[in-house]
């Protein structure tokens, strides 16, 4: 993947009816212009965008203190067309009588280079167990299996579950036809890891690598991050706006919410790279991004009496976001006791929830909540 120091493009663009290409010293690829596909819920898939190799994430609207890697955009190098490009994806969907469904937040990845970057971000090695949520046509699954991973896929759509099951008839691949948001993933993974029901397993901990439906992002994060005893890392392709909101925990902003406390309680999040929207079919209205969550073990969680009571207190605090904590938490103890607790941890008695760090909430909880 090119970096900000890549050689400049030496020659001008040549336009033709079907393709836009750029000749350069490195030979970079533009995305093919595809004809309209009737019947799909989004607008016609348009010609691809290419981000400048000099583009910096500092130019993005995101805050400066966000944790991220050095690369901002993913670009594909010249090579033979992937078997999971636009035409192959459309063929696979048509073979099952399927179209992307807005209600399921389905956007299929067309760029294998991005799938490879996604797998690389998770440092997947031979024999590792990887959970994939929503494999779809199997484009990411293919890259994971080629990396030597044992893949457990969860697919809600029975037609696509049958498709990937037929496409990958290998003993280190398993498909569970279930709705991830409703299934008992902890039980499934614990059973598979403890009893070694899949071949090539050489690890007691698994990883999650997924291009998940955008509309279940928060549900997936809430279900996976507390599972540090099962998963070591969770690498997800999310909406860029969601990725920025989850990773950035800036105080005193409208984006600072209970989910920021939750994410940092259970993990160490890192924004890896941005993915422009033209890499998906159908093309969404927003760009995407890859986020890596390094999960904490239970022994490394902040010391609270009870995680249940802790997050109950945090949620109560943010329910009245502009209210002072002495008012929004008065169902726990008296306003005077809350003021004294705030002052004892070095905070003003008039503090509001958006002004407290994770550590502040932990200390406040341990002072005012009696278990």
Helix (H) / strand (E) element for 265: namely helix 258-266
- What is the average pLDDT score of the chain? 79
**pLDDT > 50? residue 12:** no
- 3-class DSSP assignment, residue 133: strand
pTM: 0.75
- 3-class DSSP assignment, residue 82: coil
Quick one: CA dihedral 176, 181, 184, 187, positive or negative? positive
The DSSP line for 285-322 is SS-EEEEEEEEPPGGGS---S-HHHHHHHHHHHHHTTT
Of residues 263, 235, 238, 267, the one with CA closest to residue 249: 263
Q: What are the φ and ψ backbone dihedral angles of 205, each rounded to 5 degrees?
A: -115, 145
Of residues 161, 114, 120, 168, the one with CA closest to residue 141: 168
d(CA 369, CA 308): 11
Hey, what domains does the chain have and what are their CATH numbers? 79-300 (3.40.50.150), 307-368 (1.10.8.100)
Q: Tell me: the pLDDT tens digits for 272-316?
A: 999 999 999 888 899 999 999 999 999 999 999 999 999 999 999
d(CA 133, CA 140): 10
Q: Which ranges in 21-85 belong to alpha helices (H)?
A: none
Structure tokens at 220: 């997936």
Extract long-range pairs of 346-352: CB within 8 Å, 24+ residues apart. Answer: 350/324, 350/326, 351/324, 351/325, 352/321, 352/322, 352/323, 352/324, 352/325
d(CA 34, CA 89): 13
**Angular region, 148: left φ>0, alpha ψ -120 to 50, beta rest:** left
d(CA 344, CA 24): 62
Among 83-92, 102-111, 150-159, the range scoring the smallest mean pLDDT is 83-92
Among 67-76, 123-132, 334-343, the range scoring the smallest mean pLDDT is 67-76
List binding-site positions: 107, 109, 134, 155, 179, 211
List binding-site positions for S-adenosyl-L-methionine: 107, 109, 134, 155, 179, 211
Q: How many residues are there in the chain?
A: 371
Q: Tell me: the pLDDT tens digits for 194-223?
A: 776 655 555 568 999 999 988 899 999 999
Q: What are the φ and ψ backbone dihedral angles of 229, each rounded to 5 degrees?
A: -75, -15
Tally of CA atoms within 13 A in the half-sphere of 51 that contains its CB: 25
Quick one: CA dihedral 68, 69, 70, 76, positive or negative? negative
Q: Which carries the bigger pLDDT value, residue 49 or residue 275? A: 275
Of residues 260, 263, 268, the one with CA closest to residue 354: 260
Q: Tell me: the pLDDT tens digits for 183-197?
A: 999 888 888 877 766
């Amino acid at each position: 993947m090119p970096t900000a120091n890549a050689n400049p493009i030496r020659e001008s663009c040549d336009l033709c009816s079907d393709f836009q290409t750029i000749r350069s010293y490195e030979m970079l690829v533009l995305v093919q212009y595809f004809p309209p596909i009737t019947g799909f819920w989004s607008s016609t898939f348009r010609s691809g965008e290419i981000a400048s190799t000099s583009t910096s994430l500092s130019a993005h609207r995101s805050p400066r203190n966000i944790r991220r890697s050095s690369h901002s955009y993913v670009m594909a190098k010249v090579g033979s067309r992937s078997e999971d490009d636009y035409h192959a994806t459309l063929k696979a969907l048509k073979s099952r009588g399927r179209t992307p469904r807005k209600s399921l937040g389905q956007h299929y990845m067309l760029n294998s280079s991005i799938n490879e970057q996604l797998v690389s971000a998770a440092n997947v090695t031979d024999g590792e167990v990887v959970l994939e949520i929503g494999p779809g046509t199997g484009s990411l699954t293919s890259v994971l299996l080629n990396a030597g991973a044992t893949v457990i896929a969860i697919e809600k759509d029975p037609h696509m579950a049958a498709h990937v099951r037929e496409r990958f008839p290998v003993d280190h691949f398993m498909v569970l036809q279930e709705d991830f948001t409703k299934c008992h993933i902890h039980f499934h993974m614990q059973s598979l890891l403890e009893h070694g029901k899949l071949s090539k397993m050489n690890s007691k901990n698994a990883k999650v690598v997924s291009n998940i439906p955008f509309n279940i992002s928060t549900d997936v994060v809430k279900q996976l991050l507390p599972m540090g005893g099962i998963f070591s890392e969770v690498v997800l392709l999310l909406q860029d706006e969601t990725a920025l909101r989850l990773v950035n925990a800036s105080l005193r902003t409208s984006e600072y919410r209970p989910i920021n406390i939750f994410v940092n309680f259970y993990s160490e999040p890192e924004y890896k790279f941005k993915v422009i929207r033209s890499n998906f079919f159908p093309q969404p209205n927003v760009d995407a991004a890859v986020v890596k969550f390094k999960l904490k073990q239970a022994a490394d969680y902040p010391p609270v009496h009870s995680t249940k009571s802790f997050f109950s207190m945090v949620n109560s605090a943010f329910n009245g976001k502009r209210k002072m904590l002495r008012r929004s938490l008065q169902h726990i103890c008296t306003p005077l006791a809350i003021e004294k607790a705030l002052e004892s941890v070095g905070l003003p008695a008039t503090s509001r929830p958006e002004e407290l760090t994770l550590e502040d909430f932990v200390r406040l909880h341990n002072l005012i909540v009696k278990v």
